[in-house]
Amino acid sequence: MKTMVILSGGMDSTALLYGLKAEGEVEAVSFDYGQRHKIELNSALRLAIRAGVTHHIIDLSDVGRAIAGKSALLAGAEDIPVPEGHYAEANMAITVVPNRNMIMASIAAGVAWARDCTLIALGVHAGDHAVYPDCRPDFVDALDRTLFLATEERIGVIAPFIYMSKAQIVTYGEQYGVPWELTHTCYNGKRPHCGRCSTCVERIEAFDIAGVEDPMGYEPGGVEYARSVVAAKAAAEASVVSSGSYVPKNIRHLPLFRQDD
Ligand SMILES: [Zn+2]
């Protein structure tokens, strides 16, 4: 059994790549969808090389241009500011890339079929549910069912982190030696990271909760800013992490819930 991991270059998909690689054969696929900061794609490339896995990079820049306009994360939207502060804020809606995971998973399933993979793996986690509709358990359930039918039962979908917090992913990734310094998180595309955008705040919070030192460099004052935001939003954070009470109807391919069959 071989798994195709959708690798963004961020923490979650990288931890997934390293964890699944320890369990079996994996390949990685990344997408150039015209993301505002190509630095993320460069991270994916370096991480795949470091992991020693076959890496497919798919050019979807035309698609990115066609769906740009409402998301702060796509090229051409440089006038839309990336939100600062806590990631649970409603203003994170501006970072939604329309139907991104459906687009990527659909193509990844085709690549997976061509490469004799039987699963595609998504790094979505519980903290994504509130903002991103294509990261929620019911979406993953439906995607699994859809791809299973579309590929004559060849390809299934796993999302092992779907009920995990970002901090739990840090703990998980530590077990598999994830080179966190090669990942990219900052929505402002900065290296060192800014520490102020919502994803930087989320990252700093996750490493703090996990008790792991983040090897990423941050701009002066960034970490302090992030920690002050987290302290002010501690109650909101708890409500996000505990939102995973939904039990999927189709649990066939979710390893955390898989029954032997
Ligand atoms: Zn940032």
pLDDT in tens, 111-162: 999 999 999 999 999 877 777 888 899 999 999 999 999 999 999 999 999 9
Question: How far is ligand 1, taken at its centre, from the CA of residue 52, in Å?
Answer: 28
Question: How far is ligand 1, taken at its centre, from the CA of residue 49, in Å?
Answer: 25
pTM as predicted: 0.84
CA angle 32, 34, 36 (to 5 degrees): 120
Question: How far is ligand 1, taken at its centre, from the CA of residue 81, in Å?
Answer: 12
Tokens of 137: 């358990």
Question: How far is ligand 1, taken at its centre, from the CA of residue 197, in Å?
Answer: 4
Which pLDDT score is estimated for 65? 82
CB atoms within 10 A of CB 239: 10
Question: How far is ligand 1, taken at its centre, from the CA of residue 203, in Å?
Answer: 9
Question: How far is ligand 1, taken at its centre, from the CA of residue 198, in Å?
Answer: 7
- Listed range (16-20, 46-50, 95-99, 194-198) with the worst mean pLDDT: 95-99
What are the structural domains, with CATH classification, of the chain? 2-181 (3.40.50.620)
Which pLDDT score is estimated for 95? 67
The sheet with strand 2-6 has its strands ordered as: 55-59, 25-32, 2-6, 119-121, 156-158
Question: How far is ligand 1, taken at its centre, from the CA of residue 114, in Å?
Answer: 36
Per-residue pLDDT tens digits for 197-255: 989 999 999 999 999 999 999 999 999 999 999 998 776 656 555 555 444 454 444 55
- The closest of 80, 31, 87 to 202, measured between CA atoms, is 87
